[in-house]
Chains A and B, each alone.
Chain A
C-alpha cells in the first residue's frame, strides 16, 4: 500500500476567484487554466484544485492543460513563439542547414538573442503575409529575422501589410473597406454603410431573409463549401431553444490568414453578419471562437462588441425590433483541430478539442446540446452584403457556377504575395500572373499547394483549370483560398514533409490511423528529404494516405491524404529519386546528379 495520505485542504482562494470570474461552471476550465498559465502557476496542484472548484474530475482538467499547445506545465519565462509554418519555413530555408534540424536551430538562435524568453516552436501563426513571423507573448510580429532581435526586445513588431490599394482585377466586397475605416470606430463603420444590412433584415421576417441568403447560393468559406442558407434552415427549423451561433475564427491552417485580416480591418462587418444569422436562426447568443494566437484581434472584437452594444446593434430589443442577441469572444489555446466544428464546440464547452461523433450534427445537437450554426468568419462577412444588395446582385458578381466573391491568399515565390478578393473560377495561372504579378525574378513555376495545408499539390498541368469548390474533382482544390507557389528550388517532398510535421503535431490522437499514420508518414519523409530514402517508401506513403483517408475519425485525418496523394501523383519521379537517395540533405532538395 502507498503511504501517501490524501490531504483535504481548502482550495487556493485565488483559483476560486478565477473560477467565479469565468462563470464557475465546467465551461470555465480552459479560461482558468489559461490565466494560471499566464501567471506561470500551472502545475499538478493548481490543476487538481481547479478541478475541485469546477466539480470536474482531475483528469479532465489535466487533459486540457496538456492538450492545448499554449498551456504548459513546465517552468517558463516570458514566451516567444517561433512560427513553424510552411510559409515561414520557405522564407527561412535560405539559411537553414537542414530541414529537420532547421527549425530547432532557429529556436536556438532566438534563445541566444533573447535570454529573457522561453522560446518555443509553434504551428502556423496565421501571419503568412508577414513571414518570418513570431509571437512575442501575445503580440504578433513579422517580418522579423533573428538579426532584428534587439529591436524586438525594444518593442518593435515588424510591419503590417497594407492592403488598402486593390490589385488589378480585384472585385472587393468583404475587404472593400480595408484601410478606409478606423476599425475601432463604429461611427466610421456606420458612415460606410455597415449595419445597413442588419437594419434592412430586421424589417423583414426571418424566413424572408433566410430565403434571400439561400437563393444567393452562398457557400461556406471554411473550405468545405456547404451552403450557408441550408445550414441555417436546419437550425431555424429545430424546435429546441435556445439556439446558438458560433463564428469559427480558429484560423489555424497553414497558409490561411484571411479571417485575421477581416477581423482586424472591419470587425463590425463580422458582427453584423452574425447578428443577421442570429435573427434568421432565432438564436439568442453567439460566440466567436478565436484562436489564442490572435489576442490583438480578440481585443479588437471585444471593443467592437461594446461599441455595437452602446448603439443597440447588440443586446436587448435590437433597434426596437423585439430581437435580442449577445456575442461573446472566446479565445482558444493553440489547437488546429479546434477548427473542426464539433471539436470547436467541445473546446467551447471546456473540454479537450476532440471531434464528436457525427451524426448528430451541430444544427441539431451542437453547443450545450442545442441547435447551433457554426460558420467561418468570411461566410458571416458576406451575409450583410447579400442582405443589403440582394441575392441577384451577389450572383451577378461572377460567371462561375459558384456565386459571389472569395478572399484569396497568394504566397511563396510570386512578386506580389498577399491577400485579394475576386470572383470564383480563377485559374492558377491567373492567380500567379494577374494577381501575384508573376513569378519572382529567376523563379520558374514548379508546383503549388492549393487551398491550404490540407489542399492539393499540383504541377503545371493544372494551371488553367478554373478553381472553385467543385474543382477538387479535377485535382485542384480551393479549400480556404490560399495558394503557395513554389519555384524550381523547392522540393515537393520537403513541402510535404513540412505539412506532415504540422499534421503530426496537431493530430488530436483520438483515432489510430491519424495518430500513428501521420507520425509514420513524417518519419518516412524526414528520411527521404535527408537523403536516406529506402525502396518501398513511396508505396508505404500511398498506403498510409489511403488508410488515413478511408478510416480516420474526422476531417483532419481524412484530409492529410489530399496533399499526400496529389504530390505522389504529380511528382512520382521525385519520390523515386528520393527512394534511391538521390536527394541531399538540403531544405531545397536539389538532386545530386
Chain B
C-alpha cells in the first residue's frame, strides 16, 4: 500500500494502481476521453492530465502509477486551463454540427466541452477533411471528421473482438483512423459487431440503421436479454413511441459487458416486422377437431395463386389461436404417437435461441415426460 494525497485528501492505495484508479476508488472525478475501463490505457488524448507536486510536467492520470507520498491536484487552475485548451485543439478540427449530430446528448467530447466551457476556435478544419458516411458497411456509419483520434475503436476491435480491423495511418496532423490497408470495413474483415461504435466517444462511428431517428433523451432504455442465443448477453433496447429503434450496449451487463455480436446489436428489426408471428397458429381442421382423412379432398396449395379462390376458407388454413388450445393439440398428438408407435418414435430438437434453462426443461420433457432420449440441439448440427 502507498499513501498519497488527492486534492488534499489522504488516501491509501494498492501500489501499482494508476492515479485514475485511485481517484475513481474514492469517487474523485478526473475527465477522460481515450481511457475506457475495459480497454488498455494508451494516454493519447491528454484530458486526464493532473498536477503532481514537484513534477516538471503534468501527468496523465490514466497511465501514471501512484508512488509513496504523491501529492496530486486534479482540478488546479493550470490543469483546468490545459484541459480547456486541449479540448479546443480537438474542437478546431471537429465539425460544428452538434445540432444535427446523432450522438449529441451522449457525446463525451460534447460533455467535456460543456463542463470546461471550451468552444471551437475560429481556426482549424472544422471537419471538412474527410467524406461523410464514408464506408459502405450496412450497420456502421463512419464520419472521420468527428474523430478525435482517441483510438478507442482500435483497442476495442483488437482487444475485445480480437478482429484487428481498425488501425491508424499517416502521422502528425494528417493522422487518420482507417480500416485495414485503407480499404472498406468489410474488405478489412470486419464482422460488423459494432464494438467500435459502442466505444467511440464521439459521433465518428455511429449506427447506420437508426441514424437520425432519435437522440439519447428522446428514447426510453429497456434492459433486456438477447433472444438470439443462450449466452445471455444483456443490452438496452432504445424505445421511442413504443417502437424499438436500436440497441445499445449496457456497461453493467453481467455476461458480456459492452460486447455484442452483429445479431444482438443490429438484428432487432424483426421485432416490428409485419410478417412476424406473435400468436400461435393451428390448421383450421385441427381447431375444428377433424382428422386429416376427413379433408383429404379439400383445396390446398393451388388456392393461393388463384385470386378467385383466395377468399374461400379451407381446412388447411393457418388460424390464430390461444396458447392453451395450441398446446393441447400438440400434447394430444404427442400422446397419440407415443401410444401408437412408442416413445422413441418422437424426437426433440431445441434451439440455440433458447436459454440454458429452457433447454434444460426441454431435456426433462423429452426424457422424463415422453420417455425418449431422442433430444438434440441445433448448435450440434
A residues engaging B (CB < 8 A)? Answer: 1-2, 4, 6, 44, 47-48, 51, 57-63, 66-67, 335, 352, 357, 359, 504-513, 515-520, 523, 543-544, 546-547, 549-553, 558
- Cβ distance B192 to chain A, nearest Cβ, rounded Å: 10
* CB <8 Å contact, B138 and A62: no
Measured between beta carbons, the chain A residues less than 8 angstroms from B95 are none
Given contacts A357-B63, A512-B148, A523-B123, contact A47 B171 (CB under 8 A): no
* CB <8 Å contact, A509 and B173: yes
Name the contact of B171 in the complex, choosing from A2, A359, A508, A513 (C-beta under 8 A): A508
Q: B352 within 8 Å of A by Cβ?
A: no
Instruction: Known A-B contacts: A511-B45, A512-B90. Give 14 more (CB < 8 A).
Output: A57-B167, A58-B181, A67-B170, A509-B172, A513-B86, A516-B90, A517-B89, A520-B89, A550-B57, A550-B78, A551-B86, A552-B46, A552-B57, A553-B46
The residue on A at minimum CB distance from B179 is A59
Max chain A Cβ within 10 angstroms of own Cβ: one of B44, B167, B179: B167
Q: List 5 A-B contacts (CB under 8 A).
A: A59-B181, A509-B172, A515-B175, A519-B172, A520-B92
Measured between beta carbons, the chain A residues less than 8 angstroms from B42 are 357
Whole-angstrom CA separation of A63 from B165 in the bound complex: 12
Measured between beta carbons, the chain B residues less than 8 angstroms from A47 are 181
The residue on B at minimum CB distance from A358 is B63
Given contacts A512-B89, A550-B57, contact A58 B171 (CB under 8 A): no
- Cβ distance B72 to chain A, nearest Cβ, rounded Å: 15
Name the contact of A66 in the complex, choosing from B43, B58, B123, B171 (C-beta under 8 A): B171
Measured between beta carbons, the chain B residues less than 8 angstroms from A511 are 43-46
- Cβ distance A556 to chain B, nearest Cβ, rounded Å: 10
* CB <8 Å contact, A357 and B58: no
Q: B108 within 8 Å of A by Cβ?
A: no
Whole-angstrom CA separation of A1 from B154 in the bound complex: 23
* CB <8 Å contact, B168 and A352: yes
Given contacts A4-B184, A59-B188, A523-B123, contact A359 B65 (CB under 8 A): yes
* CB <8 Å contact, B89 and A66: no
Whole-angstrom CA separation of A397 from B124 in the bound complex: 53
Whole-angstrom CA separation of A512 from B187 in the bound complex: 30
Q: B195 within 8 Å of A by Cβ?
A: no
Q: B49 within 8 Å of A by Cβ?
A: yes
* CB <8 Å contact, B57 and A549: yes
Max chain A Cβ within 10 angstroms of own Cβ: one of B42, B46, B187: B46
Measured between beta carbons, the chain A residues less than 8 angstroms from B171 are 66-67, 335, 352, 507-509
Given contacts A6-B187, A60-B167, contact A551 B173 (CB under 8 A): no
* CB <8 Å contact, B44 and A510: yes
* CB <8 Å contact, A59 and B175: no
Given contacts A59-B164, A357-B63, contact A516 B89 (CB under 8 A): yes
Q: B230 within 8 Å of A by Cβ?
A: no
Whole-angstrom CA separation of A377 from B42 in the bound complex: 31
- Cβ distance B77 to chain A, nearest Cβ, rounded Å: 12
Whole-angstrom CA separation of A506 from B172 in the bound complex: 7
Measured between beta carbons, the chain B residues less than 8 angstroms from A1 are 138
Measured between beta carbons, the chain B residues less than 8 angstroms from A520 are 89, 92, 123-124
Whole-angstrom CA separation of A472 from B253 in the bound complex: 54
Whole-angstrom CA separation of A335 from B169 in the bound complex: 14
Name the contact of B170 in the complex, choosing from A51, A66, A546, A547 (C-beta under 8 A): A66
Measured between beta carbons, the chain B residues less than 8 angstroms from A509 are 149, 168, 170-175
- Cβ distance A413 to chain B, nearest Cβ, rounded Å: 31
- Cβ distance A361 to chain B, nearest Cβ, rounded Å: 13
The residue on A at minimum CB distance from B93 is A516
* CB <8 Å contact, A48 and B180: yes
Measured between beta carbons, the chain A residues less than 8 angstroms from B180 are 48, 57-59, 62
Max chain B Cβ within 10 angstroms of own Cβ: one of A59, A504, A546: A59
* CB <8 Å contact, B85 and A547: yes
Whole-angstrom CA separation of A550 from B59 in the bound complex: 8
The residue on A at minimum CB distance from B79 is A550
Name the contact of A63 in the complex, choosing from B49, B82, B168 (C-beta under 8 A): B168
The residue on B at minimum CB distance from A506 is B172
The residue on A at minimum CB distance from B41 is A357
- Contact flags B48-59 to A (C-beta < 8 A → 1, else 0): 010000000110
Q: B182 within 8 Å of A by Cβ?
A: yes
Q: B186 within 8 Å of A by Cβ?
A: yes
Q: B183 within 8 Å of A by Cβ?
A: yes
Q: B166 within 8 Å of A by Cβ?
A: yes
Q: B136 within 8 Å of A by Cβ?
A: yes
Whole-angstrom CA separation of A4 from B190 in the bound complex: 13
Measured between beta carbons, the chain A residues less than 8 angstroms from B187 are 2, 4, 6
* CB <8 Å contact, A59 and B58: no
Q: B178 within 8 Å of A by Cβ?
A: yes
The residue on A at minimum CB distance from B182 is A62
Max chain A Cβ within 10 angstroms of own Cβ: one of B82, B92, B168, B171: B171
* CB <8 Å contact, A513 and B181: no
* CB <8 Å contact, A504 and B181: no
* CB <8 Å contact, A59 and B45: no
- Cβ distance A517 to chain B, nearest Cβ, rounded Å: 6
Measured between beta carbons, the chain A residues less than 8 angstroms from B182 are 44, 62, 66
* CB <8 Å contact, A505 and B181: no
Name the contact of A558 in the complex, choosing from B43, B57, B63, B164 (C-beta under 8 A): B57
Whole-angstrom CA separation of A17 from B93 in the bound complex: 43
Given contacts A57-B164, A58-B181, A549-B57, contact A513 B46 (CB under 8 A): yes
